[in-house]
């Protein structure tokens, strides 16, 4: 007999862990006096997301991959909300969504692929994560640099031409080095 609970009992175990974690957060709130309602409320999204991700990593098959992806997405949403709560920059949802959909999905696929030694899932996860990051940067440059969603558009500064040239050089070099790879 292995140390793992039977497959049918895993849902109860995970639900129990989630309830213990949430109860622990409420206990910390009461004992230490930290106001989770105003500052730490994103933890109520991050903690279940991390637990869902971990549950997915320990579950085999499509079910595990789905749980890992769901956990990755939920955790990323919580982290974005934590940053927005700390900075007050709620309008960044205009482009932060790219970190959630493709980015969170990529994190879930990478984690599951690494845990189960599936290089195909890792490769797909890296592509998805890369797509999310590229969309986040592109839309962030537009919304913050051109429109000035959170303040003065930074592309109107004296540093903007230098930043654009630097970004162009990086993209050009990446394109050149990808073209020189030997075919497999």
What does the pLDDT average to over 94-116?
Answer: 93
Q: For the whole model, what pTM was predicted?
A: 0.71
pLDDT over 80 (residue 25): no
pLDDT over 90 (residue 61): no
pLDDT in tens, 5-18: 555 566 677 677 77
Neighbouring residues of 135: CB distance < 8 A, sequence distance ≥ 6: 95, 98, 102
Task: Give CA separation, 134 vs 137, 156, 165, in Å.
Answer: 5, 22, 17
pLDDT band at 105 (very low <50, low <70, confident <90, very high): very high
């Amino acid at each position: 007999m292995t140390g793992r609970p039977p497959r049918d009992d895993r849902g109860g175990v995970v639900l129990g862990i989630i309830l213990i974690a949430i109860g622990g957060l409420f206990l910390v709130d009461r004992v230490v006096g930290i106001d989770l309602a105003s500052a730490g409320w994103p933890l109520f999204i991050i903690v279940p997301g991390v637990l869902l991700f971990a549950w997915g990593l320990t579950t085999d098959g499509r079910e595990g991959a789905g749980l890992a992806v769901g956990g990755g997405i939920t955790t990323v949403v919580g982290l974005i909300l934590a940053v927005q709560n700390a900075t007050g920059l709620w309008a960044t949802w205009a482009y932060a969504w790219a970190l959630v959909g493709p980015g969170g999905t990529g994190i879930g696929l990478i984690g599951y692929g690494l845990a189960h030694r599936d290089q195909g899932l890792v490769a797909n996860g890296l592509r998805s994560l890369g797509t999310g990051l590229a969309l986040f940067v592109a839309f962030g440059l537009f919304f913050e640099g051109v429109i000035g969603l959170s303040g003065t558009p930074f592309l109107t500064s004296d540093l903007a031409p230098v930043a654009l040239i630097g970004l162009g050089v990086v993209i050009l070099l990446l394109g050149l080095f990808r073209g020189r790879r030997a075919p497999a």
